[in-house]
Structure 1
Amino acid sequence: MRPANSMLKYLLRKTLASRVTSMTKRQKQAQETRRILFENAVTLFREKGFDSVTVEEITTRAGTAKGSFYTYFRTKSDIIIEEFKAIDGFYEKYQHNLKRYGSARERIIAFVRAQTKHVRDSVGLAMLKILYSTNIIDPLAEKFLINPQRYLHALIKEIIILGQSTGEFRTDVDADELTLFFNRSMRSVFLDWAISDNDWDLVAGGLRYCEIVILPALSSPGTGPRAAGS
Protein backbone atom coordinates (compact mmCIF):
# COMPACT_ATOMS: atom_id res chain seq x y z
CA MET A 1 0.00 0.00 0.00
CA ARG A 2 2.84 2.38 0.79
CA PRO A 3 4.27 2.29 -2.74
CA ALA A 4 0.80 2.94 -4.10
CA ASN A 5 0.31 5.86 -1.75
CA SER A 6 3.70 7.27 -2.70
CA MET A 7 2.82 7.03 -6.38
CA LEU A 8 -0.53 8.73 -5.77
CA LYS A 9 1.15 11.59 -3.91
CA TYR A 10 3.70 11.92 -6.70
CA LEU A 11 0.98 12.11 -9.34
CA LEU A 12 -0.95 14.68 -7.31
CA ARG A 13 2.14 16.87 -6.90
CA LYS A 14 2.89 16.59 -10.60
CA THR A 15 -0.67 17.55 -11.53
CA LEU A 16 -0.66 20.55 -9.19
CA ALA A 17 2.71 21.69 -10.48
CA SER A 18 1.45 21.42 -14.04
CA ARG A 19 -1.61 23.51 -13.19
CA VAL A 20 0.50 26.18 -11.49
CA THR A 21 2.81 26.33 -14.52
CA SER A 22 -0.17 26.55 -16.85
CA MET A 23 -1.77 29.29 -14.75
CA THR A 24 1.49 31.24 -14.73
CA LYS A 25 1.72 31.03 -18.51
CA ARG A 26 -1.87 32.22 -18.86
CA GLN A 27 -1.24 35.11 -16.47
CA LYS A 28 1.88 36.14 -18.36
CA GLN A 29 0.02 35.96 -21.66
CA ALA A 30 -2.82 38.06 -20.21
CA GLN A 31 -0.36 40.68 -18.94
CA GLU A 32 1.31 40.81 -22.33
CA THR A 33 -2.02 41.20 -24.15
CA ARG A 34 -3.03 43.98 -21.77
CA ARG A 35 0.30 45.76 -22.32
CA ILE A 36 -0.01 45.53 -26.11
CA LEU A 37 -3.56 46.89 -26.04
CA PHE A 38 -2.52 49.75 -23.75
CA GLU A 39 0.53 50.80 -25.77
CA ASN A 40 -1.30 50.68 -29.09
CA ALA A 41 -4.24 52.62 -27.67
CA VAL A 42 -1.94 55.38 -26.39
CA THR A 43 -0.20 55.53 -29.77
CA LEU A 44 -3.53 55.88 -31.58
CA PHE A 45 -4.76 58.54 -29.15
CA ARG A 46 -1.64 60.59 -29.86
CA GLU A 47 -1.99 60.13 -33.60
CA LYS A 48 -5.71 60.70 -34.04
CA GLY A 49 -7.09 62.10 -30.79
CA PHE A 50 -9.02 60.25 -28.10
CA ASP A 51 -12.52 60.76 -29.55
CA SER A 52 -11.51 59.69 -33.06
CA VAL A 53 -10.21 56.27 -32.01
CA THR A 54 -12.54 53.26 -31.75
CA VAL A 55 -12.02 50.15 -29.70
CA GLU A 56 -11.99 48.13 -32.91
CA GLU A 57 -9.09 50.24 -34.21
CA ILE A 58 -7.17 49.57 -30.99
CA THR A 59 -7.61 45.79 -31.20
CA THR A 60 -6.78 45.79 -34.91
CA ARG A 61 -3.57 47.75 -34.31
CA ALA A 62 -2.72 45.46 -31.38
CA GLY A 63 -3.43 42.32 -33.43
CA THR A 64 -5.87 40.91 -30.88
CA ALA A 65 -9.47 39.71 -31.07
CA LYS A 66 -12.13 42.43 -31.15
CA GLY A 67 -13.60 41.43 -27.81
CA SER A 68 -10.24 41.22 -26.05
CA PHE A 69 -10.26 44.91 -25.13
CA TYR A 70 -13.18 44.53 -22.73
CA THR A 71 -11.43 41.69 -20.94
CA TYR A 72 -8.89 44.16 -19.60
CA PHE A 73 -10.56 47.59 -19.81
CA ARG A 74 -14.14 48.76 -19.27
CA THR A 75 -13.89 51.78 -21.55
CA LYS A 76 -11.29 53.79 -23.46
CA SER A 77 -11.11 56.08 -20.43
CA ASP A 78 -9.52 53.27 -18.45
CA ILE A 79 -6.49 53.61 -20.74
CA ILE A 80 -6.18 57.22 -19.64
CA ILE A 81 -6.26 56.20 -15.98
CA GLU A 82 -3.46 53.73 -16.67
CA GLU A 83 -1.40 56.57 -18.15
CA PHE A 84 -1.94 58.62 -14.98
CA LYS A 85 -0.78 55.67 -12.91
CA ALA A 86 2.31 55.38 -15.09
CA ILE A 87 3.11 59.02 -14.27
CA ASP A 88 2.85 58.20 -10.57
CA GLY A 89 5.24 55.31 -11.22
CA PHE A 90 7.76 57.88 -12.41
CA TYR A 91 7.24 59.92 -9.22
CA GLU A 92 7.85 56.85 -7.08
CA LYS A 93 11.14 56.11 -8.82
CA TYR A 94 12.24 59.73 -8.71
CA GLN A 95 11.59 60.12 -4.98
CA HIS A 96 14.94 58.47 -4.17
CA ASN A 97 16.74 61.33 -5.94
CA LEU A 98 15.22 63.88 -3.59
CA LYS A 99 17.22 62.60 -0.64
CA ARG A 100 20.35 64.29 -1.95
CA TYR A 101 18.74 67.70 -1.37
CA GLY A 102 19.09 68.93 2.18
CA SER A 103 16.23 71.35 2.56
CA ALA A 104 12.52 71.00 1.86
CA ARG A 105 12.66 74.05 -0.43
CA GLU A 106 15.37 72.43 -2.52
CA ARG A 107 13.32 69.25 -2.73
CA ILE A 108 10.21 71.13 -3.87
CA ILE A 109 12.22 72.89 -6.58
CA ALA A 110 13.90 69.66 -7.68
CA PHE A 111 10.56 67.87 -7.83
CA VAL A 112 8.88 70.63 -9.86
CA ARG A 113 11.80 70.55 -12.29
CA ALA A 114 11.56 66.76 -12.68
CA GLN A 115 7.75 66.75 -12.85
CA THR A 116 7.49 69.42 -15.54
CA LYS A 117 10.34 67.87 -17.56
CA HIS A 118 8.68 64.45 -17.45
CA VAL A 119 5.31 65.84 -18.54
CA ARG A 120 6.86 67.92 -21.32
CA ASP A 121 9.25 65.28 -22.69
CA SER A 122 7.65 61.92 -21.86
CA VAL A 123 3.90 62.43 -21.47
CA GLY A 124 3.76 65.12 -24.15
CA LEU A 125 1.31 67.89 -24.96
CA ALA A 126 -1.17 65.75 -26.94
CA MET A 127 -1.52 63.11 -24.23
CA LEU A 128 -1.73 65.72 -21.47
CA LYS A 129 -4.69 67.32 -23.25
CA ILE A 130 -6.39 63.92 -23.49
CA LEU A 131 -5.66 63.12 -19.84
CA TYR A 132 -7.20 66.36 -18.62
CA SER A 133 -10.15 66.57 -20.99
CA THR A 134 -11.18 62.95 -20.38
CA ASN A 135 -11.06 63.40 -16.62
CA ILE A 136 -13.24 66.51 -16.95
CA ILE A 137 -15.75 65.38 -19.57
CA ASP A 138 -16.21 61.64 -19.12
CA PRO A 139 -18.57 60.97 -16.17
CA LEU A 140 -17.45 57.33 -16.07
CA ALA A 141 -13.76 58.13 -15.83
CA GLU A 142 -12.13 57.43 -12.49
CA LYS A 143 -11.15 60.78 -10.94
CA PHE A 144 -7.59 59.63 -10.41
CA LEU A 145 -6.22 63.08 -11.22
CA ILE A 146 -7.51 64.54 -7.93
CA ASN A 147 -7.40 61.37 -5.84
CA PRO A 148 -5.61 62.10 -2.52
CA GLN A 149 -4.60 58.44 -2.38
CA ARG A 150 -2.21 58.97 -5.31
CA TYR A 151 1.48 58.41 -4.66
CA LEU A 152 2.01 62.02 -5.70
CA HIS A 153 0.07 63.24 -2.66
CA ALA A 154 2.16 61.15 -0.26
CA LEU A 155 5.42 62.32 -1.84
CA ILE A 156 4.60 66.03 -1.60
CA LYS A 157 3.17 65.66 1.89
CA GLU A 158 6.44 64.08 3.05
CA ILE A 159 8.42 67.06 1.75
CA ILE A 160 6.03 69.52 3.39
CA ILE A 161 6.22 67.72 6.74
CA LEU A 162 10.01 67.92 6.50
CA GLY A 163 9.76 71.65 5.83
CA GLN A 164 7.42 72.14 8.77
CA SER A 165 9.76 70.24 11.09
CA THR A 166 12.77 72.36 10.07
CA GLY A 167 10.90 75.66 10.28
CA GLU A 168 11.05 76.30 6.52
CA PHE A 169 7.32 75.87 5.94
CA ARG A 170 4.33 77.26 7.80
CA THR A 171 2.68 75.14 10.46
CA ASP A 172 -0.58 77.06 10.81
CA VAL A 173 -1.98 74.98 7.93
CA ASP A 174 -2.14 71.19 8.00
CA ALA A 175 0.35 69.31 5.79
CA ASP A 176 -2.48 67.53 3.98
CA GLU A 177 -4.12 70.83 3.06
CA LEU A 178 -0.84 72.36 1.91
CA THR A 179 -0.26 69.26 -0.22
CA LEU A 180 -3.72 69.66 -1.73
CA PHE A 181 -2.99 73.32 -2.56
CA PHE A 182 0.40 72.43 -4.07
CA ASN A 183 -1.09 69.82 -6.38
CA ARG A 184 -3.94 72.12 -7.39
CA SER A 185 -1.41 74.81 -8.21
CA MET A 186 0.68 72.51 -10.38
CA ARG A 187 -2.41 71.23 -12.20
CA SER A 188 -3.17 74.85 -13.09
CA VAL A 189 0.32 75.16 -14.59
CA PHE A 190 -0.17 72.02 -16.70
CA LEU A 191 -3.65 73.09 -17.79
CA ASP A 192 -2.44 76.55 -18.80
CA TRP A 193 0.42 75.02 -20.79
CA ALA A 194 -2.01 72.67 -22.55
CA ILE A 195 -4.43 75.50 -23.37
CA SER A 196 -1.56 77.65 -24.69
CA ASP A 197 -0.59 74.74 -26.97
CA ASN A 198 3.04 74.81 -25.83
CA ASP A 199 3.34 78.57 -26.25
CA TRP A 200 5.83 78.72 -23.38
CA ASP A 201 8.38 76.32 -21.92
CA LEU A 202 6.77 74.16 -19.26
CA VAL A 203 9.94 73.55 -17.23
CA ALA A 204 11.08 77.18 -17.08
CA GLY A 205 7.53 78.41 -16.49
CA GLY A 206 6.86 75.80 -13.83
CA LEU A 207 10.01 76.69 -11.92
CA ARG A 208 9.22 80.39 -12.13
CA TYR A 209 5.71 79.75 -10.81
CA CYS A 210 7.18 77.68 -7.99
CA GLU A 211 9.57 80.49 -7.06
CA ILE A 212 7.03 83.33 -7.21
CA VAL A 213 3.82 81.63 -6.03
CA ILE A 214 4.24 78.21 -4.43
CA LEU A 215 7.28 78.65 -2.21
CA PRO A 216 6.15 81.97 -0.74
CA ALA A 217 2.77 80.37 0.04
CA LEU A 218 4.47 77.45 1.79
CA SER A 219 7.13 79.42 3.65
CA SER A 220 7.06 80.31 7.31
CA PRO A 221 6.94 84.04 8.09
CA GLY A 222 10.40 85.55 7.88
CA THR A 223 11.83 82.86 5.64
CA GLY A 224 12.36 83.50 1.94
CA PRO A 225 12.53 80.91 -0.82
CA ARG A 226 15.76 80.47 -2.67
CA ALA A 227 15.86 81.21 -6.35
CA ALA A 228 14.49 78.33 -8.41
CA GLY A 229 17.71 78.09 -10.39
CA SER A 230 19.93 77.62 -7.32
Structure 2
Amino acid sequence: MPESLTSREKQAIATKKRIYRCGVELIKKYGYDNITVKEIAEKANVSIGNYYHYFKSKYDLLVEIFKHGDEFFEAEVPKILDEYKDCKDILVQYFLVYARLSINDGVEMAKNLYIPTNKMFLTHGRLMQNMLIQILKNEQEKGKIPKTLDCEEITEKLFVVARGVIFDWCLKDGKTDLLAEMKEIISRMVESYIVR
Protein backbone atom coordinates (compact mmCIF):
# COMPACT_ATOMS: atom_id res chain seq x y z
CA MET A 1 0.00 0.00 0.00
CA PRO A 2 1.49 3.39 -0.94
CA GLU A 3 2.52 5.68 1.87
CA SER A 4 0.30 8.69 2.38
CA LEU A 5 1.72 12.08 1.52
CA THR A 6 2.89 14.45 4.21
CA SER A 7 1.10 17.77 4.53
CA ARG A 8 4.18 19.47 3.05
CA GLU A 9 4.10 17.16 0.00
CA LYS A 10 0.38 17.80 -0.45
CA GLN A 11 1.00 21.54 -0.23
CA ALA A 12 3.78 21.29 -2.86
CA ILE A 13 1.47 19.42 -5.24
CA ALA A 14 -1.29 21.97 -4.67
CA THR A 15 1.13 24.86 -5.28
CA LYS A 16 2.40 23.37 -8.55
CA LYS A 17 -1.18 22.76 -9.72
CA ARG A 18 -2.13 26.34 -8.82
CA ILE A 19 0.83 27.76 -10.74
CA TYR A 20 -0.07 25.56 -13.71
CA ARG A 21 -3.75 26.55 -13.60
CA CYS A 22 -2.94 30.25 -13.34
CA GLY A 23 -0.41 29.99 -16.16
CA VAL A 24 -2.99 28.30 -18.38
CA GLU A 25 -5.56 30.99 -17.57
CA LEU A 26 -3.08 33.73 -18.52
CA ILE A 27 -2.08 31.94 -21.72
CA LYS A 28 -5.75 31.63 -22.70
CA LYS A 29 -6.33 35.31 -22.03
CA TYR A 30 -3.14 36.94 -23.34
CA GLY A 31 -1.15 34.33 -25.25
CA TYR A 32 2.02 32.52 -24.24
CA ASP A 33 4.36 35.11 -25.74
CA ASN A 34 2.56 37.98 -23.99
CA ILE A 35 2.90 36.83 -20.39
CA THR A 36 5.83 36.70 -17.99
CA VAL A 37 6.86 34.41 -15.17
CA LYS A 38 6.32 37.37 -12.83
CA GLU A 39 2.68 37.66 -13.94
CA ILE A 40 2.11 33.92 -13.53
CA ALA A 41 3.67 34.01 -10.05
CA GLU A 42 1.55 37.01 -9.04
CA LYS A 43 -1.66 35.37 -10.25
CA ALA A 44 -0.75 32.14 -8.42
CA ASN A 45 0.13 34.16 -5.30
CA VAL A 46 3.66 32.74 -5.12
CA SER A 47 7.09 34.32 -5.33
CA ILE A 48 9.05 34.20 -8.57
CA GLY A 49 11.55 31.96 -6.78
CA ASN A 50 8.74 29.62 -5.84
CA TYR A 51 7.63 29.51 -9.48
CA TYR A 52 11.17 28.49 -10.47
CA HIS A 53 11.15 25.79 -7.80
CA TYR A 54 8.38 24.02 -9.75
CA PHE A 55 9.12 25.13 -13.33
CA LYS A 56 12.65 25.87 -14.57
CA SER A 57 11.35 28.42 -17.08
CA LYS A 58 8.21 29.74 -18.68
CA TYR A 59 8.80 27.19 -21.44
CA ASP A 60 8.55 24.40 -18.85
CA LEU A 61 4.96 25.46 -18.28
CA LEU A 62 4.33 24.89 -21.98
CA VAL A 63 6.01 21.48 -21.71
CA GLU A 64 3.65 20.68 -18.83
CA ILE A 65 0.62 21.64 -20.94
CA PHE A 66 1.75 19.23 -23.65
CA LYS A 67 2.45 16.56 -21.03
CA HIS A 68 -1.18 16.82 -19.94
CA GLY A 69 -2.15 16.28 -23.58
CA ASP A 70 -0.04 13.13 -23.69
CA GLU A 71 -1.69 11.91 -20.48
CA PHE A 72 -5.11 12.50 -22.06
CA PHE A 73 -4.04 10.29 -24.99
CA GLU A 74 -2.66 7.66 -22.64
CA ALA A 75 -6.09 7.41 -21.01
CA GLU A 76 -8.19 7.55 -24.20
CA VAL A 77 -6.30 5.51 -26.82
CA PRO A 78 -6.66 2.11 -25.09
CA LYS A 79 -10.45 2.61 -25.22
CA ILE A 80 -10.20 3.09 -28.99
CA LEU A 81 -8.12 -0.05 -29.39
CA ASP A 82 -10.63 -2.03 -27.34
CA GLU A 83 -13.63 -0.76 -29.28
CA TYR A 84 -12.37 -0.53 -32.88
CA LYS A 85 -10.64 -3.18 -34.99
CA ASP A 86 -10.69 -1.63 -38.48
CA CYS A 87 -7.48 0.24 -39.35
CA LYS A 88 -9.25 3.31 -40.73
CA ASP A 89 -11.63 3.49 -37.77
CA ILE A 90 -8.74 3.28 -35.29
CA LEU A 91 -6.80 6.06 -36.99
CA VAL A 92 -9.83 8.33 -37.38
CA GLN A 93 -10.83 7.79 -33.75
CA TYR A 94 -7.25 8.53 -32.70
CA PHE A 95 -7.45 11.97 -34.29
CA LEU A 96 -10.91 12.57 -32.88
CA VAL A 97 -9.20 12.26 -29.49
CA TYR A 98 -6.75 14.92 -30.71
CA ALA A 99 -9.69 17.16 -31.66
CA ARG A 100 -11.44 16.53 -28.32
CA LEU A 101 -8.27 17.60 -26.52
CA SER A 102 -8.51 21.00 -28.23
CA ILE A 103 -12.25 21.23 -27.59
CA ASN A 104 -11.68 20.42 -23.90
CA ASP A 105 -8.97 23.09 -23.64
CA GLY A 106 -11.16 25.58 -25.50
CA VAL A 107 -10.68 27.59 -28.66
CA GLU A 108 -8.88 30.44 -26.83
CA MET A 109 -6.24 28.06 -25.51
CA ALA A 110 -5.89 26.44 -28.94
CA LYS A 111 -5.44 29.87 -30.53
CA ASN A 112 -2.56 30.51 -28.16
CA LEU A 113 -0.92 27.12 -28.74
CA TYR A 114 -1.30 26.77 -32.52
CA ILE A 115 1.19 29.49 -33.37
CA PRO A 116 4.43 29.35 -35.40
CA THR A 117 6.63 30.15 -32.39
CA ASN A 118 5.40 27.07 -30.51
CA LYS A 119 8.03 24.47 -31.36
CA MET A 120 6.54 21.85 -29.01
CA PHE A 121 4.64 20.52 -32.02
CA LEU A 122 8.00 19.61 -33.57
CA THR A 123 9.22 17.67 -30.54
CA HIS A 124 9.82 14.06 -31.54
CA GLY A 125 9.36 11.15 -29.18
CA ARG A 126 6.29 12.47 -27.41
CA LEU A 127 3.90 9.85 -26.07
CA MET A 128 1.04 10.67 -28.45
CA GLN A 129 3.37 10.32 -31.44
CA ASN A 130 4.90 7.09 -30.17
CA MET A 131 1.45 5.61 -29.57
CA LEU A 132 0.43 6.36 -33.15
CA ILE A 133 3.68 4.94 -34.53
CA GLN A 134 3.02 1.71 -32.61
CA ILE A 135 -0.57 1.54 -33.87
CA LEU A 136 0.67 1.97 -37.45
CA LYS A 137 3.32 -0.74 -36.97
CA ASN A 138 0.67 -3.09 -35.62
CA GLU A 139 -1.50 -2.38 -38.66
CA GLN A 140 1.49 -3.05 -40.91
CA GLU A 141 1.93 -6.43 -39.25
CA LYS A 142 -1.74 -7.18 -40.00
CA GLY A 143 -1.13 -6.25 -43.63
CA LYS A 144 -3.40 -3.18 -43.50
CA ILE A 145 -0.63 -0.66 -44.25
CA PRO A 146 2.18 -1.43 -46.72
CA LYS A 147 5.48 -2.27 -45.03
CA THR A 148 7.19 -0.07 -47.60
CA LEU A 149 5.75 2.98 -45.83
CA ASP A 150 7.59 4.53 -42.88
CA CYS A 151 5.36 4.73 -39.79
CA GLU A 152 7.19 7.76 -38.38
CA GLU A 153 6.69 9.62 -41.65
CA ILE A 154 2.98 8.71 -41.74
CA THR A 155 2.66 9.91 -38.14
CA GLU A 156 4.29 13.22 -38.95
CA LYS A 157 2.08 13.80 -41.99
CA LEU A 158 -1.13 12.90 -40.15
CA PHE A 159 -0.25 15.30 -37.34
CA VAL A 160 0.51 18.06 -39.86
CA VAL A 161 -2.96 17.60 -41.32
CA ALA A 162 -4.65 17.39 -37.90
CA ARG A 163 -2.91 20.56 -36.71
CA GLY A 164 -4.15 22.27 -39.87
CA VAL A 165 -7.73 21.24 -39.11
CA ILE A 166 -7.41 22.64 -35.58
CA PHE A 167 -5.73 25.80 -36.85
CA ASP A 168 -8.67 26.32 -39.24
CA TRP A 169 -11.08 25.83 -36.31
CA CYS A 170 -9.13 28.53 -34.44
CA LEU A 171 -9.28 30.90 -37.42
CA LYS A 172 -13.05 30.47 -37.44
CA ASP A 173 -13.28 31.14 -33.67
CA GLY A 174 -14.44 27.60 -32.94
CA LYS A 175 -17.61 28.05 -34.98
CA THR A 176 -17.05 24.96 -37.14
CA ASP A 177 -17.73 21.39 -36.05
CA LEU A 178 -14.18 20.36 -35.25
CA LEU A 179 -15.02 16.70 -34.77
CA ALA A 180 -16.85 16.46 -38.11
CA GLU A 181 -14.07 18.30 -39.95
CA MET A 182 -11.36 16.16 -38.35
CA LYS A 183 -13.26 12.97 -39.17
CA GLU A 184 -13.79 13.89 -42.82
CA ILE A 185 -10.28 15.14 -43.53
CA ILE A 186 -8.37 12.47 -41.60
CA SER A 187 -10.58 9.76 -43.18
CA ARG A 188 -9.53 10.91 -46.63
CA MET A 189 -5.90 11.15 -45.63
CA VAL A 190 -5.85 7.72 -43.97
CA GLU A 191 -7.38 6.07 -47.04
CA SER A 192 -4.23 6.91 -48.98
CA TYR A 193 -2.16 4.71 -46.64
CA ILE A 194 -4.44 1.68 -46.26
CA VAL A 195 -4.16 -1.46 -48.38
CA ARG A 196 -7.42 -2.04 -50.25
TM range (shorter): 0.7 to 0.9
- 2:99 is matched with 116
Query: What residue ranges of structure 1 are gaps of 5+ in the alignment?
Result: 1-20, 224-230
Q: Is the CA contact 1:157–1:175 (under 8 Å) kept in the aligned structure 2? A: yes
Q: 2:57 aligns with which of 39, 53, 75?
A: 75
Query: What residue ranges of structure 2 are gaps of 5+ in the alignment?
Result: none
Structure with more contact order per residue of length (Cα contacts < 8 Å, sep ≥ 6): 2
Q: Which letter does structure 2 place at the counterpart of 1:206?
A: M
- 1:103 is matched with 86
Q: How far apart, CA to CA, are the structure 1 residues paired with 2:158 and 2:51?
A: 36
- 1:40 is matched with 22
| Structure (1 or 2) with the larger CA radius of gyration | 1
CA displacement at 1:36 relative to structure 2: 1.0
With the length of structure 2 as denominator, give the TM-score of the two structures: 0.85
- 1:205 is matched with 181
Matched, 1:30 2:30: no
Q: Which letter does structure 1 place at the counterpart of 2:70?
A: D
Q: Which letter does structure 2 place at the counterpart of 1:117?
A: R
Partner deviation per Cα, 1:23-76 (whole Å, 9 max, x = no partner): 955444333221111111111222333344333332222222243212222332
In the TM superposition, what are the counterparts of 1:173-192 in structure 2 within 5 Å? 173-192=149-168
Q: Is the CA contact 1:49–1:130 (under 8 Å) kept in the aligned structure 2? A: yes
Q: Is the CA contact 1:105–1:163 (under 8 Å) kept in the aligned structure 2? A: no
Q: Is the CA contact 1:88–1:150 (under 8 Å) kept in the aligned structure 2? A: yes
Q: Which letter does structure 1 place at the counterpart of 2:44?
A: A
Q: How far apart, CA to CA, are the structure 1 residues paired with 2:141 and 2:48?
A: 55
Q: How far apart, CA to CA, are the structure 1 residues paired with 2:64 and 2:165?
A: 22
Q: Is the CA contact 1:116–1:206 (under 8 Å) kept in the aligned structure 2? A: yes
1:218 aligns to what SS in structure 2?
A: coil
**Aligned alpha-carbon RMSD (Å):** 2.3
Q: How far apart, CA to CA, are the structure 1 residues paired with 2:191 and 2:101?
A: 24
Identity of aligned residues (%): 26
Q: How far apart, CA to CA, are the structure 2 residues paired with 1:137 and 1:105?
A: 32
Partner deviation per Cα, 1:48-106 (whole Å, 9 max, x = no partner): 33344333332222222243212222332322221111011000001220222112222
Q: How far apart, CA to CA, are the structure 1 residues paired with 2:34 and 2:167?
A: 22
Q: How far apart, CA to CA, are the structure 1 residues paired with 2:126 and 2:28?
A: 25
Matched, 1:85 2:67: yes
Change (3 A) 1:95 1:158: same
2:114 aligns to what SS in structure 1?
A: helix
Q: How far apart, CA to CA, are the structure 2 residues paired with 1:137 and 1:118?
A: 20
- 1:137 is matched with 117
Q: How far apart, CA to CA, are the structure 2 residues paired with 1:89 and 1:199?
A: 27
Q: Is the CA contact 2:95–2:182 (under 8 Å) kept in the aligned structure 1? A: yes
- 1:10 is matched with none
- 2:193 is matched with 218
- 2:37 is matched with 55
Q: 2:129 aligns with which of 153, 164, 168?
A: 153
2:22 aligns to what SS in structure 1?
A: helix
